[in-house]
């Protein structure tokens, strides 16, 4: 699955949604793995920024860098600020998109992913 999010350390966001989404997916990650899936988080941050973010928050899944915004534009689209829209794509074993999550409730997103994976198992 591909989880797009705007940016690491987006301090201008008063709700700190990026941290809440990371926490929710970190909690759900063991179940995601048990269900045979893998999670990749993607933002426009540099590789160095991704590395720092992953280390700082002890995130167990891979973060990918899309500084040229090619993947973000193709899948999630960009918001008015030029950042990736918060969107998750579940891609099945055949390489087809099985589910798209938009308008994500960041605190519940990890469990929403798990529930969907359980439903299609």
Percent of the chain beyond pLDDT 70? 92
Separation between Cα atoms, residue 69 and residue 108, nearest integer Å: 27
| CB-CB neighbours of 73 under 10 Å | 13
Pairing state of beta strands 40-43 and 2-4?
parallel
Q: Residue 9 pLDDT more than 90?
A: no
pLDDT at 18: 65
User: If you average pLDDT over every residue of the chain, what do you get?
Assistant: 91
Domain ranges of the chain: 2-120
Query: In terms of pTM, does the model score above 0.75?
Result: yes
pLDDT at 71: 95
pLDDT digits (tens, 9 = 90+) for 72-92: 999 989 999 899 999 999 999
pLDDT digits (tens, 9 = 90+) for 11-42: 555 446 667 888 899 999 999 999 999 999 99
For the segment(s) 2-120, the CATH number from 3.90.50.10, 3.40.30.10, 3.40.630.30, 2.60.40.10 is 3.40.30.10
CA angle 75, 79, 85 (to 5 degrees): 45
Encode burial over 83-120: b for 16+ CB neighbours within 10 A, e otherwise.
bbbbbbbbbeeeeeeebebeebebeebbebbbebbeee
């Amino acid at each position: 699955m591909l989880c797009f999010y705007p940016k690491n350390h987006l301090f201008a966001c008063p709700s700190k949604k990026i941290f809440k989404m990371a926490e929710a997916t970190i909690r759900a990650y063991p179940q995601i793995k048990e269900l045979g899936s893998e999670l990749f988080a993607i933002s426009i941050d540099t590789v160095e920024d991704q590395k720092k973010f992953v280390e700082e928050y002890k995130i167990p899944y891979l973060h990918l860098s899309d500084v040229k915004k090619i993947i973000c534009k193709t899948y999630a689209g960009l918001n008015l600020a030029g950042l990736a829209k918060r969107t998750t794509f579940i891609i099945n074993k055949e390489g087809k998109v099985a589910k798209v999550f938009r308008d994500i409730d960041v605190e519940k997103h990890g469990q929403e992913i798990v529930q969907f994976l359980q439903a299609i198992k």
